[in-house]
Chains A and B, each alone.
Chain A
């Protein structure tokens, strides 16, 4: 058999392969979850992750900073999801966060610490994707509003508003469902 171990080109190839495998192991779960909350479908979520890594491999040479890999992958997945739709519906940009809203929201006392997981998931599913998406990126990806704005190509102010409204709506949904809040 041929021995290519001393060929620099193949050593680089191997490192690239290893880097790719590390990315798959490190980020596939978070990407799947992001894909799930975008599509709300297990099969589509897995397809999105597969396609994301397929595209990532083809463009891996363009990734100069390994630290940016996670955000890069999230962005690819988001684009893949957008491709599923023939036309992107124009989403109303929400750019301001009313101070009154913050004050009203700040009076809520519940922390929902013991709320049933399934109830929260059901509530999350009811959120419009434009609200759920930045929230999921925040809680799963650990991203700041500025980082989310870059990933979803929106203004930071709009992201803040969406996150705020997502949280507000979730609380409302959970409060409304008295049966599911019985364990609190």
Chain B
């Protein structure tokens, strides 16, 4: 056996434990010692046998399933975020509503609509497209009809507000979602009223069958939607 910087025992220790070793002393010893070279080749073969055996079959579509699960969890996290906002909002709402009643700056219905919007914050999650036909099916009962300029709806459904059936629609806005709530209770005053709390800004508009509320956390998204609404949504006479 050739004795270089590394002896045979040290080389074999590496071969039987850390076969990934790439040190020059080890490489040099193996290159110059026929016995160790032969032993090393056997170790490499055994290693490839082990690798082959350890590489058990991986279930088909594993990566895809991980990514699907990942996307679902992201959505859930987003919903949780909105729910937390809702909890915080509910606490703030008590304060906001008390201010409304104290200063009488917003109609009582504003508190009801805002409270409902906070309870249903989860609908702000983008769940895909709702067709115009579906929107109009829901709006019909409230004497309202929309055309295709109204925008891209991501949620639409009936809702209960203080025991009365309304419609709750969410549109994709410029920077944030815009909520449209149609509520069967009429405003005391037919004029539009600006409403807001710590989270939402919005406007209430009277129709001949009730009230329309438009809400968004983003002022710009709200204004653009209002402009669009004025040309696309018609109230039945």
Is the CB of A78 closer than 8 A to any CB of chain B?
A: no
Chain A-chain B contacts (Cβ-Cβ < 8 Å), number: 126
Q: How many residues of A contact B (CB 8 A)?
A: 52
Shortest Cβ gap from A33 to chain B (Å): 6
Q: In this assembly, does B12 line the interface, its C-beta being within 8 Å of a C-beta of chain A?
A: yes
- Set of chain B residues within 8 Å of A80, measured between Cβ atoms: none
The reply to whether B50 and A139 contact each other, CB–CB distance below 8 Å, is yes
Chain A 104-145 residues near chain B, CB threshold 8 A: 105-106, 109-113, 115, 117, 120-121, 124, 135-136, 138-140, 142-145
Which residue of chain B lies nearest to A52 when distances are taken between CB atoms in the complex?
Answer: B66
B54 touches A136 (CB 8 A): yes
In-complex Cβ contact of B55 among A28, A49, A53, A140 (8 A): A140
A111-B42, A112-B46 as given contacts; A32 in contact with B70, CB under 8 Å = no
Query: Is B17 touching A97 in the complex (CB atoms < 8 A)?
Result: yes
Complex contacts, A74 vs chain B, CB 8 Å: none
Please determine whether B152 and A32 come into contact, CB atoms closer than 8 angstroms. Answer: no
Interface membership of B91, Cβ < 8 A: no
Q: Are B18 and A49 in contact (CB under 8 A)?
A: no
How far is it, in angstroms, between the C-alpha of A29 and the C-alpha of B65 when the chains are bound? 12
- Kindly supply a per-residue 1/0 record for chain A positions 152-182, scoring 1 wherever the CB is within 8 Å of any chain B CB and 0 otherwise: 0000000011011001101100000000000
Bound CA span A57–B43, Å: 38
Q: Are A99 and B9 interface neighbours, CB within 8 A?
A: yes
> Is there a chain A Cβ closer than 8 Å to B69's Cβ?
yes
Q: How far is the CA of A64 from the CA of B8 in the complex (A)?
A: 41
- Judge whether B172 and A1 touch: CB under 8 Å: yes
| A25 in contact (CB, < 8 A) | yes
Chain A contact residues, majority secondary structure = helix
A97 in contact with B175 (CB, 8 Å): no
B66 CB contact (under 8 Å) in A49, A113, A136, A164: A49
- Binary B-proximity of A42-70 (CB < 8 A = 1, otherwise 0): 10001001100110010000000000000
B-chain residues with CB within 8 Å of residue A82 when the two chains form the complex: none
Task: Kindly state the separation between the CA atoms of A42 and B58 in the bound complex, as whole angstroms.
Answer: 9
B13 within 8 A of A: yes
Q: How far is the CA of A107 from the CA of B112 in the complex (A)?
A: 85
Q: Is B174 located at the chain interface by the 8 A CB criterion?
A: yes
Interface residue A21 (Cβ < 8 Å from any Cβ of B): yes
Q: How far is the CB of A12 from chain B (nearest CB, A)?
A: 15
B53's partner among A50, A124, A164, A168 (CB-CB below 8 A) is A124
Bound Cα distance A167, B49 (Å): 12
Docked Cα-Cα span, A99 to B47, in Å, equals: 21
State the 10 A-B residue pairs at the shortest beta-carbon distance, nearest first: A120-B53, A111-B42, A111-B45, A160-B17, A139-B51, A113-B45, A145-B18, A106-B12, A29-B58, A121-B53
| A contact residues vs B (CB 8 Å cutoff) | 1-2, 20-21, 24-25, 28-29, 32-33, 36-37, 42, 46, 49-50, 53-54, 57, 97, 99, 102-103, 105-106, 109-113, 115, 117, 120-121, 124, 135-136, 138-140, 142-145, 160-161, 163-164, 167-168, 170-171
Chain B positions near chain A (C-beta within 8 angstroms): 9, 12-13, 15-21, 39, 41-43, 45-56, 58-59, 62-63, 65-67, 69-70, 73-74, 152, 172-175
Some 26 contacts from A to B, beta carbons below 8 A apart, are: A1-B152, A32-B59, A32-B62, A46-B65, A50-B66, A54-B73, A99-B9, A99-B13, A102-B9, A102-B12, A102-B13, A103-B12, A112-B46, A113-B49, A120-B52, A121-B54, A121-B56, A135-B50, A138-B19, A138-B20, A139-B51, A139-B54, A140-B55, A144-B21, A160-B18, A163-B17
